[in-house]
Amino acid sequence: MSSAVEQIEGLTAQEYKYGFVTDIDQETLPPGLTEDTVRFISAKKEEPEWLLDWRLKAFRHWQGMTEPTWPNVSYPKIDYQSISYYAAPKSADDKPKSLDEVDPELLATYEKLGIPLEERAVLAGVAVDAVFDSVSVATTFREKLADAGVIFMSISEAVREHPELVRKYLGSVVPPSDNFFAALNSAVFSDGSFVFIPKGVTCPMELSTYFRINAMNTGQFERTLIVAEDDSYVSYLEGCTAPMRDQNQLHAAVVELVALENARIKYSTVQNWYPGDKDGNGGIYNFVTKRGACRGKRSKISWTQVETGSAITWKYPSCILIGDGSVGEFYSVAVTNNHQQADTGTKMIHIGKDTTSTIVSKGISAGVSNNSYRGLVKIMPKAEGARNFSQCDSMLMGDRCGAHTFPYLEVRNKTAQVEHEATTSKIGEDQIFYLNQRGIETEDAVSMIVNGFCKEVFRELPMEFAVEAQKLLGVSLEGSVG
Amino acid sequence: MPAIADRADVYLERFNDALARAAAEPTWLLERRKRAMERFLQLGVPSLKHEEYKYTDLSALADGQLLFATRPGSAEAALPSYVAGGASDAGPQVLGRVPQGARVQSLAEALRAEPDLVQRHLATIADYEDHALCAVNTAFFSDAVVIQAERGAVLDEPIQLVFGDGPQGSLPRVLIVAGRNSSVQVVETYAGSGAYWRNAVTEIHAEENARVDHYRAQVESLDAYHTGRLQASQQRDSYVSSFSISFGAAVARNDIGTRLNGSGCECSLDGLYAVRGDQLVDHHTSIDHAMPHCNSHQLYKGVLDDRARGVFNGKIFVRPDAQKTDAVQSNKNLLLSDQSEVNTKPQLEIDANDVRCTHGATIGQLDSEAAFYLQSRGIGANRARNLLTYAFAADALERIKVAQLKEHFESLLLNRFASQES
């Protein structure tokens, strides 16, 4: 054990690999949040009247709300007036038409992250709508997608070019008054992605957005909206890394998914924001509202997430299963180390007949971190023949970490079949020993065991992500085990 | 919170009466009662906004009318057969003889005989600081039953307590102290008629290597509120089991908890609830693994019919020092009708790494194929349903070690649906 403890210390002492700051002039709003801030953001983005009204309404609602205290996390009180709510790269006015026109320093940032935009785009066939802080600076493969009829653009562009679509769906899944952070996001959201897959179209490539948090003290308020019409399919990847920083940063994103009849949406996330140093200083606060509505018959929404970063993660990707026979899935790996805290899980609301949901959650806690699973499975009275299976496993490494599960099962229909099971255990010493005596170093053994533990989730990830996820898991955990 | 204070006026008023009645009690007990009252006034009767009570509406209890203005009616007709003729006006009836090695005393008797022991344990195990209903009982209970098992005494027969319409009425209080190496079984039966609120608290203290098997059979009137708290405190190598049977009451809320204060402890909290009509039954359990090398086991099974609702919340806490903990928890529910409802929340809070904790929850219905098979063998539809319901509950029933108790509830389940064959 003692040598393992030393290893933990050696490895957890590793500095955050992806911590650096890109030096680009930014047009940044001074800290503070008033109605004028909302108006400024809206004006800056040349938004129509209805959107400004929508934002203001959300803002007024937000003012009357209080920050939730029920999550199993603790952090110093956030001063919402000390945050700057808008930052955009200066070159925003003349947007680059292709990668060549993109600020080379930006591209270098992606290089450093190991996500070479053009290479990835070309080789992997992935269109990347890279969000550098608040404004989308590069969008590739737009034409190819346009040929298929797929709309993939930043949400502010979409407001200009497809106002009718945005107006119809924006806030229809996560209403502006939904919760404290969703209301805040609705008031000040800076940018995000908009995806529209028309009827019968299978999106020809996997769509991807890379988020970066770059400006000092700037909260990032992403807004993502994905609409899949009848019989369509899309797979969307979201991944993020952030520069090293001392001050806590707030990230309050909202993601809305709408699936109509027979549509399928697959939403995958790899989250690796700066988790703070090993003493728990700094790190991102990740307070996200993600929700998908399966509105049509036999529609399907699948969430897959690998959460390794952030000082505090607080998110519950959910599915509202309205259409008969619709399917919701949630696959999650959440890793916490050092002083990280994660309170994450899902909600499956069964409303339609014969709806099915699957929840597989793997929590791994190391160091002095706390990892909570919090989930709700609700079967409404009309949901005949609903079926749910949940499995939440936790693995504990180190004797000062915590694993918690809070599953809520609410069933109001007798034809429902709901199963929930959870286990919590230590990483198997005998397994490590076995691998050791086969000549495998402890470190590699741990990596193998953990990867095996998470396999059910990883195999749900698209190819491109699965590799990255395994790497991330390695970086986050290697050696933090005894 | 002025609104609560207003409604608590009746409690305050009655509290002065209660204090006057209890004037002869020792100071420490009066202090505990006053503190409990103070806490109750601060906490109030929990509302639906309270996370622990989000599915169980106790607003009818807020004004205290049900507690002070009504009392449990005669239980004679409602008593289960195994205790028939047991309840009397003389207090909680102890059935049969008290086994060798045990003492069953009233509060006054116990205070005379063993003041130190009572002071050490009464109102120190069940927490009234954070639990309003426990605070109400602590502030107001008029008498208590104090059960002691002598050191090394192995009691061959269960001690049966029947709470009907006796003087302890609405606020039964029981203290069980099991001495070193002793073994004791206690059965509490609650029955009554009419509309009333019974708020019971039982405290168990298990000394080193003691064994306590506790059964609570709740067959209250269908118009009654029953709230009960069972809290145990376990010393090393002790074993405590609790079995909660809930068939009665309009609204039943059971809080069952144990704290494992020494290593090598074991506990088993089990339950069986079968409700119909508009009944609601709510079980909240809490096992606090404070020390290493302890095992806990929980199995709760529920059968819900008509518009009945079931609530289960099981908490397992594993404290940072409680290595080598093995905790298993399971809640299984059978829904027999379209309008029945189950809200279950098995909860783990684990702060130690070398542990094995599992929990599971299932909600389902009778297997129609199994029912069809039985019918194809010539067994009527109702009888088939009875058999399958019984089969569902059987592994929980198996955990009842008191034969009369087990047989009684077995037959209740087996005859649940009218047995006339169609």
Residues of B in contact with A396 (CB under 8 A): 350, 352-355
Q: Which residue has the higher pLDDT, A123 or A45?
A: A45
CA distance A362 to B327: 19
Per-residue pLDDT at A12: 46
Per-residue pLDDT at A44: 82
CA distance B323 to B351: 9
What does the mean pLDDT of chain B come to?
88
Other C-beta atoms lying within 10 Å of the C-beta of residue B205: 25
8 Å CB contact of B346 and A404: no
CA distance A219 to A214: 10
Q: Is A98 on the interface with B (CB under 8 A)?
A: no
Q: Is B48 on the interface with A (CB under 8 A)?
A: no
Choose among B106, B142, B172, B149: nearest CA to B29: B142
In a domain? residue A96: no
Per-residue pLDDT at A480: 57
8 Å CB contact of B365 and A397: no
B343 in Cβ contact with B333 (< 8 Å): no
B319 in Cβ contact with B289 (< 8 Å): yes
Residue of chain B with shortest Cα separation from A402: B351
Q: Which residue has the higher pLDDT, B84 or B300?
A: B300
Percent of chain A's residues with pLDDT above 70: 76
Q: Is A411 on the interface with B (CB under 8 A)?
A: yes
Q: Is B39 helix (H, G, I), strand (E, B) or coil?
A: helix
8 Å CB contact of B364 and A397: no
Check pLDDT > 60 for residue A482: no
Per-residue pLDDT at A1: 42
Residue of chain A with shortest Cα separation from B323: A399
Check pLDDT > 90 for residue A229: yes
Residues of B in contact with A415 (CB under 8 A): 338, 365
CA distance B344 to B63: 29
Residue of chain A with shortest Cα separation from B337: A414
8 Å CB contact of B335 and A405: no
pLDDT (tens digit per residue) in A262-280? 999 999 988 877 777 777 7
Beta bridge partners of B326: B295, B356
Q: Which residue has the higher pLDDT, B328 or B420?
A: B328
In a domain? residue A52: yes
Q: Which residues of A174-198 are buried (b: 16+ CB within 10 A; e: fewer)?
A: bebbbbbbbbbbbbbbbbbbbbbbe
- Most confident range (mean pLDDT) of A100-109, A342-351, B62-71 is A342-351
Q: Is B328 on the interface with A (CB under 8 A)?
A: no
The dihedrals phi and psi of A18, each to the nearest 5 degrees, come to -100, 25
The dihedrals phi and psi of B257, each to the nearest 5 degrees, come to -150, 155
- Distance between alpha carbon A414 and the CA centroid of its chain, in Å? 34
Check pLDDT > 50 for residue A242: no
In a domain? residue A128: no
Of A37-46, A104-113, B280-289, where does mean pLDDT reach its minimum?
Answer: A104-113
- Domain ranges (residues) in chain B: 2-261, 367-422
Binned at pLDDT 50, 70 and 90, residue B270 comes out as very high
CA distance A68 to A47: 30
B75 in Cβ contact with B193 (< 8 Å): yes
Q: Which residue has the higher pLDDT, B48 or A249?
A: B48
Residue type, position A187, single letter: A
Predicted TM-score of the model (pTM): 0.81
Per-residue pLDDT at A217: 42
C-alpha R_g of chain B: 21
Mean pLDDT of B338-346: 91
Check pLDDT > 50 for residue A65: yes
Q: Is A247 on the interface with B (CB under 8 A)?
A: no
Residue B283: in which H helix or E strand, if any?
A: strand B280-289
Residues of B in contact with A421 (CB under 8 A): 358-361
Q: Which residue has the higher pLDDT, A479 or B78?
A: B78
User: In the structure encoding, which two tokens stand for residue B206, read together?
Assistant: 């298990």
Check pLDDT > 60 for residue A238: yes
A300 in Cβ contact with A357 (< 8 Å): no
Per-residue pLDDT at A163: 92
Task: Indicate the burial class of A404 (C-beta count within 10 angstroms; 0-12, 13-18, 19 or more).
Answer: buried
pLDDT (tens digit per residue) in A38-55? 998 888 888 899 999 999
A191 in Cβ contact with A131 (< 8 Å): yes
How many angstroms separate the CA of residue B316 from the nearest CA in chain A?
A: 10
- Which residue range(s) make up the domain with A53? 2-88+152-477
Q: Which residue has the higher pLDDT, A387 or A153?
A: A387
In a domain? residue A109: no
Residue B187: in which H helix or E strand, if any?
A: strand B183-191
Q: Is A409 on the interface with B (CB under 8 A)?
A: yes
Per the structure, the count of domains in chain A is 1
Of A457-461, B147-151, B275-279, where does mean pLDDT reach its minimum?
Answer: A457-461
User: In the structure encoding, which two tokens stand for residue A319, read together?
Assistant: 């599915």
8 Å CB contact of B356 and A417: no
Binned at pLDDT 50, 70 and 90, residue B92 comes out as low
Binned at pLDDT 50, 70 and 90, residue A434 comes out as very high
Cα angle value A378/A186/A359 (rounded, 5°): 25
Check pLDDT > 70 for residue B120: yes
Mean pLDDT of B160-175: 84
Q: Is B419 on the interface with A (CB under 8 A)?
A: no
- Packing angle between helix A2-12 and helix A442-458, nearest 10 degrees? 70
End-to-end CA gap in chain A: 6
By DSSP bridging, strand A341-344 and strand A370-379 are parallel
Cα angle value A340/A346/A352 (rounded, 5°): 175
Residues of A in contact with B349 (CB under 8 A): 402, 404
Indicate which of A406, A414, A419, A432 best probes the interface with B, i.e. most B CBs within 10 Å of its own CB: A414
CA distance B83 to B95: 7
Choose among A19, A470, A439, A8: nearest CA to A243: A19
Of A237-251, A260-274, B215-229, where does mean pLDDT reach its minimum?
Answer: A237-251
Check pLDDT > 90 for residue A182: yes
